[in-house]
């Protein structure tokens, strides 16, 4: 069952020009997302690829310029005010920085219980406290945490609190924006395990935003690769990681750090700067090893016959 | 301690810092040696003391807040701790230079790229104006910047993160250093840019036979660049050896658990082995082994303090009295329960 469907989302930001004017930056260009119940869809890309903007549009935290969003079958593209707040019961967000996303002056019981005030206003204070304690426990935190403040916790514990805050309203979907990027490796492992556990227990769907390919390979079922605001490839994690079709995906995978020192390739040449993004045609063509003349006129559409594995490239990698 | 000259030594370094009004040990008797032409990876999680150790080597940054330091930093038997500030200034950026994590803040936004590199050269080398200009261009070309000449008059805000990091590396190379201290040099960068900076650091290090201290939390970066490794946990080095020794036979239970919980070395989707509990903060370290309260092998013996060479084999050392139990036959997942 599809729980979230976003079609042809686009977002322009204006850059430069104090009094208007300036040029428009296409932060997100024609991105579509399909998320089914119980699955994890990852969006990967480097900074500026539009992955976080996409997540924020899906959450309706920022308005899309174009496109539509369906949540549990209902069109929520234009819902506003109280109705929008009520819809947030179904879709909640977990942020990257557990230090910045918790109010330092609110006790944990208040921060985590806030959602209940909106979505279950009839609960008594004691009932709310009990629900918070229960949700924190699911996330591996003791009852002792209830009356403390965020600064009394480590990064990993704060992220557990952030997850509890999202879970307490019993959503169907979590949008996780780089949820483990700010954490140490050993803490990251704990949080990834926690996310897996909760997903299995509650049949949650995750939209998982990350730049870390190893984390994505570990946690996601399907993946969508973005470059310069557009989707360049999408498919199951196995398909995309094992037989990437888009040269950008291939380059990203090749850029992963090695796991063991014996994988070193020997003497290195100084790689020159290559960061160009083309304004017309395929955005990646300036640094693409497969580039040909027709890439300058490419319309960015999916060129694949396989609905399960899409690639937006005229000259894909064939193995 | 006997050693050959032309080396940079951290000798029994302890640092005491103020935390919430108390004097607390943040670094506990660390010894490191940077050998000519080799890269030493100093790896550990946040709060283990790796960064402050690196900064102490040149009396920089966080080190300014240190209340007391014991031990010494020796450059060819000369103490950097007792060196007067004006002499140390010649060492900094001269024989020993640095590359830091944040290329956004490490460059001065109001000076052009050219003038910032020129300043380093003028401070450390005697060269005439034309030669300096040529050297600046050469340095920028060495770090892979095409069109170096047009960069000279540009300001840092016109460059991307990866290009700024290249400029910082060019600055670090400007006075022909023998030693480079690189603190998380790729952490703030995108994956594809990271790989290029790694390649750049490795090629410069090999060409100039540099000695490098690579401070990082990232085992991937260590695998890419280091020759030797020191693993830190809660203010101490808990294991040291060559990069092959550490990756082929991680021996301290902490190293084993830390390497084993990386998603990339586990089956996709499988539960990751985890280390229970959390790192004790400075001031709350146990009296014996600092890792004991999280270690599945801990017993009475671990309540006594443990020396780094409690287990040693061919230069590979581990601060653990139970290495016999943590033999390679014991899988990492058994260790990290």
Q: A84 and A1: one domain?
A: yes
pLDDT band, very low/low/confident/very high, at A301 (cuts 50, 70, 90):
very high
* Mean pLDDT, rounded, for A11-26: 73
Residue B260 has pLDDT above 80, yes or no: yes
CATH 3.40.50.300 in chain B is located at 8-226
Hey, are the CB atoms on B199 and A261 less than 8 Å from each other?
no
Hey, are the CB atoms on A186 and B275 less than 8 Å from each other?
yes
Amino acid B98: pLDDT:
92
- Indicate whether A164 belongs to any domain: yes
Of the candidate ranges A61-70, A78-87, B103-112, B294-303, the one whose mean pLDDT is the lowest:
B103-112
Q: Which has more pLDDT, A100 or A52?
A: A52
* Mean pLDDT, rounded, for A255-262: 89
- Indicate whether A283 belongs to any domain: no
The minimal CB distance from B142 to the residues A255, A258, A270 is found for A270
- Indicate whether A308 belongs to any domain: no
What are the pLDDT digits (tens) for B56-102? 999 887 788 888 999 999 999 899 999 999 999 999 999 999 998 77
Q: What is the CATH number of domain B8-226?
A: 3.40.50.300
Residue B54 has pLDDT above 90, yes or no: yes
Q: A22 and A161: one domain?
A: no
A192/A181 Cα distance (integer angstroms): 11
Q: Which two tokens stand for residue B3?
A: 């050693």
Q: A74 and A117: one domain?
A: no
pLDDT band, very low/low/confident/very high, at B337 (cuts 50, 70, 90):
very low
Amino acid B1: pLDDT:
47
Instruction: Give the residue among A281, A284, A283, A286 at the shortest CA–CA distance from A297.
Output: A281
Q: A36 and A175: one domain?
A: yes
Residue A270 has pLDDT above 80, yes or no: no
CA B261 to chain A, closest CA, distance in angstroms equals 6
Q: Which two tokens stand for residue A89?
A: 């019961």
Its domain, for residue A181, covers: 1-90+171-245
Q: Which residue, of A152, A170, A188, is where some domain finishes? A: A170
Element (H, E) at A52: helix A51-58
CA B263 to chain A, closest CA, distance in angstroms equals 6
Interior angle at CA B123, CA B122 and CA B128, nearest 5? 20
pLDDT band, very low/low/confident/very high, at B324 (cuts 50, 70, 90):
confident
Q: Which two tokens stand for residue A209?
A: 């935003």
pLDDT band, very low/low/confident/very high, at B336 (cuts 50, 70, 90):
very low
Of the candidate ranges A74-83, A168-177, B2-11, the one whose mean pLDDT is the lowest:
B2-11
- Residues with Cβ within 8 Å of B97's Cβ and at least 6 positions away in sequence, in order, are B171, B172, B173, B174, B175, B177, B179, B180, B181
A5/A73 Cα distance (integer angstroms): 8
Chain A residues in contact with B196 (beta carbon < 8 A): 271, 273
Q: A105 and A236: one domain?
A: no
Closest chain A CA to residue B45: A184
Substitution target in B164, B170, B190 with the highest count of A β-carbons within 10 Å is: B190
Residue-averaged pLDDT of chain A: 92
Residue B333 has pLDDT above 80, yes or no: no
Instruction: Give the residue among A319, A257, A245 at the shortest CA–CA distance from A284.
Output: A245
CA B126 to chain A, closest CA, distance in angstroms equals 28
Amino acid B102: pLDDT:
72
The three-class DSSP label of residue A8 is: strand
Chain A residues in contact with B221 (beta carbon < 8 A): 257
Buried b (16+ CB within 10 A) or exposed e, B159-178: bbbbbbbbbbbbbbbbbebb
The minimal CB distance from A189 to the residues B195, B272, B278 is found for B272
A159/A157 Cα distance (integer angstroms): 5
Hey, are the CB atoms on A251 and B220 less than 8 Å from each other?
no
Token pair 């399960």: residue: A308
* Mean pLDDT, rounded, for B214-230: 95
Q: A109 and A73: one domain?
A: no
Interior angle at CA B59, CA B58 and CA B61, nearest 5? 110
Hey, are the CB atoms on A185 and B196 less than 8 Å from each other?
no
Hey, are the CB atoms on A217 and B263 less than 8 Å from each other?
yes
Q: Which has more pLDDT, B61 or A259?
A: A259
Hey, are the CB atoms on A184 and B266 less than 8 Å from each other?
no
Residue B319 has pLDDT above 70, yes or no: yes
Q: Note the ipTM here.
A: 0.86
Hey, are the CB atoms on B263 and A189 less than 8 Å from each other?
yes
Q: A58 and A180: one domain?
A: yes
Q: Which residue, of A245, A264, A287, is where some domain finishes? A: A245
- Indicate whether A2 belongs to any domain: yes
Q: A86 and A177: one domain?
A: yes
CA A183 to chain B, closest CA, distance in angstroms equals 9
Amino acid B100: pLDDT:
83
What are the pLDDT digits (tens) for B265-293? 999 989 999 998 888 888 899 999 999 99
Strands laid side by side in the B228-233 sheet: B96-99, B179-183, B211-216, B39-43, B228-233, B236-242, B316-318, B311-313
* Mean pLDDT, rounded, for A259-269: 78
CA separation (Å) from B241 to B255, B293, B316?
12, 25, 4
Instruction: Give the residue among B311, B217, B306 at the shortest CA–CA distance from B258.
Output: B217
Q: Which two tokens stand for residue B32?
A: 């490191």
Q: Which residue, of A120, A145, A170, is where some domain finishes? A: A170
* Mean pLDDT, rounded, for B203-214: 93
B11/B4 Cα distance (integer angstroms): 14
Residue A194 has pLDDT above 90, yes or no: yes
Residue B2 has pLDDT above 80, yes or no: no
pLDDT band, very low/low/confident/very high, at A267 (cuts 50, 70, 90):
low
B221/B199 Cα distance (integer angstroms): 11
The minimal CB distance from B199 to the residues A185, A261, A270 is found for A270
Q: A39 and A181: one domain?
A: yes
Chain B residues in contact with A252 (beta carbon < 8 A): 191-192
A110/A103 Cα distance (integer angstroms): 10
Buried b (16+ CB within 10 A) or exposed e, A145-158: bbeeebeebbbbbb
- E strands of chain B, at which residues? 8-19, 22-34, 39-43, 68-75, 78-79, 96-99, 179-183, 211-216, 228-233, 236-242, 311-313, 316-318
Hey, are the CB atoms on B263 and A192 less than 8 Å from each other?
yes
Amino acid A96: pLDDT:
85
Q: Which has more pLDDT, B58 or B334?
A: B58
Chain A residues in contact with B263 (beta carbon < 8 A): 188-189, 192, 214-215, 217-219
Q: A1 and A86: one domain?
A: yes
Q: A82 and A116: one domain?
A: no
- Indicate whether A208 belongs to any domain: yes
The minimal CB distance from B196 to the residues A219, A262, A271 is found for A271
CA B328 to chain A, closest CA, distance in angstroms equals 17
The CATH number of the domain holding residue A234 is: 3.40.50.300
Amino acid A193: pLDDT:
96
Residue-averaged pLDDT of chain B: 89
* Mean pLDDT, rounded, for B238-266: 94
Hey, are the CB atoms on A218 and B162 less than 8 Å from each other?
no
Amino acid A22: pLDDT:
66
Q: A12 and A55: one domain?
A: yes
pTM over 0.80, yes/no: yes
Hey, are the CB atoms on A273 and B146 less than 8 Å from each other?
yes
Burial class (CB in 10 A: 0-12, 13-18, 19+), A170: middle
Structurally, how many domains does chain A consist of?
2
B124/B117 Cα distance (integer angstroms): 11
Residue A271 has pLDDT above 80, yes or no: no
Per DSSP, the residues of B192-230 read HHHHHHHHHHHHHHHHHT-EEEEEES-HHHHHHH-SEEE
The minimal CB distance from B144 to the residues A189, A212, A271 is found for A271
pLDDT band, very low/low/confident/very high, at A11 (cuts 50, 70, 90):
very high
């Amino acid at each position: 069952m599809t729980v979230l469907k976003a079609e042809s989302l686009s977002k322009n930001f204006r850059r430069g020009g104090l009094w208007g004017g300036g040029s428009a930056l296409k932060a997100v260009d024609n991105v579509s997302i399909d998320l089914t119940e119980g699955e994890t869809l990852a969006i990967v890309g480097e900074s500026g690829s539009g992955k976080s903007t996409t997540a924020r549009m899906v959450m309706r935290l920022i308005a899309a310029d174009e496109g539509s969003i369906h949540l549990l079958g209902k069109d929520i593209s234009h819902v506003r005010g109280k109705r929008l707040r009520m819809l947030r019961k179904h879709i909640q967000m977990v942020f990257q920085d557990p230090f910045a996303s918790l109010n330092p002056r609110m006790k944990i019981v208040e921060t985590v219980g806030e959602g209940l005030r909106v979505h279950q206003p009839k609960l008594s204070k004691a009932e709310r406290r009990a629900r918070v304690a229960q949700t924190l426990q699911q996330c591996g935190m003791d009852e002792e945490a209830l009356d403390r403040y965020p600064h009394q916790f480590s990064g990993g514990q704060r992220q557990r609190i952030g997850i509890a805050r999202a879970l307490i309203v019993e959503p169907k979907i979590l949008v996780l924006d780089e949820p483990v990027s700010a954490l140490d490796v050993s803490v990251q492992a704990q949080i990834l395990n926690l996310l897996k556990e909760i997903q299995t227990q509650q049949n949650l769907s995750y939209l998982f935003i990350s730049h870390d390919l190893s984390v994505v390979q570990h946690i996601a079922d399907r993946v969508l690769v973005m470059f310069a605001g557009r989707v360049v490839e999408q498919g199951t994690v196995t398909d995309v990681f094992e037989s990437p079709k888009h040269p950008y995906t291939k380059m990203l995978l090749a850029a992963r750090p090695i796991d063991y020192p014996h994988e070193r390739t020997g003497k290195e040449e100084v790689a020159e700067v290559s960061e160009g993004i083309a304004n017309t045609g395929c955005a990646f063509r300036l640094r693409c090893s497969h580039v040909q003349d027709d890439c300058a006129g490419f319309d960015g559409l999916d060129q694949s016959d396989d609905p399960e594995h899409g690639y937006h490239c005229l000259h894909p990698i064939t193995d | 301690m006997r050693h050959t000259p032309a080396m940079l030594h951290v000798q029994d370094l302890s640092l005491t810092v103020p935390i919430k009004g108390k004097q607390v040990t943040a670094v506990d008797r660390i010894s490191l040696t940077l050998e000519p032409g080799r890269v030493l990876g100093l790896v550990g999680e946040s709060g283990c003391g790796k960064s402050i150790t690196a900064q102490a080597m040149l009396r920089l940054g966080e080190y300014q807040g240190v209340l007391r330091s014991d031990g010494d930093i020796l450059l060819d038997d000369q103490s950097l701790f007792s060196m007067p500030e004006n002499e140390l200034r010649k060492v900094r950026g001269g024989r020993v230079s640095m590359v830091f994590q944040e290329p956004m803040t490490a460059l001065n936004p109001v000076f052009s790229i050219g003038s910032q590199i020129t300043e380093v050269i003028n401070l450390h080398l005697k060269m005439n104006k034309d030669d300096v200009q040529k050297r600046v261009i050469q340095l920028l070309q060495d770090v892979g910047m095409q069109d170096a000449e047009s960069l000279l008059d540009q300001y840092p805000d016109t460059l991307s993160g990866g290009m700024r990091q290249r400029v910082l590396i060019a600055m670090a190379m400007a006075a022909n250093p023998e030693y480079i201290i690189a603190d998380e040099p790729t952490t703030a960068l995108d994956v594809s840019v990271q790989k290029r900076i790694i390649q750049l650091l490795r090629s410069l290090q090999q060409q100039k036979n540099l000695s490098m201290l690579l401070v990082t939390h990232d085992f991937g970066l260590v695998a890419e660049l280091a020759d030797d490794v020191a693993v830190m946990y809660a203010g101490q080095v808990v294991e040291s050896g060559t990069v092959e020794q550490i990756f082929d036979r991680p021996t301290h239970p902490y190293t084993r658990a830390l390497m084993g919980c990386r998603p990339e070395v586990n089956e996709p989707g499988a539960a990751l082995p985890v280390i229970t509990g959390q790192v004790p903060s400075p001031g709350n370290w146990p009296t014996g082994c600092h890792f004991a309260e999280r270690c599945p092998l801990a017993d009475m013996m671990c309540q006594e303090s443990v020396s780094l060479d409690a287990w040693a084999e061919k230069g590979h050392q581990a601060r653990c009295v139970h290495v016999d139990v943590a033999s390679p036959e014991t899988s990492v997942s058994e260790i990290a329960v």
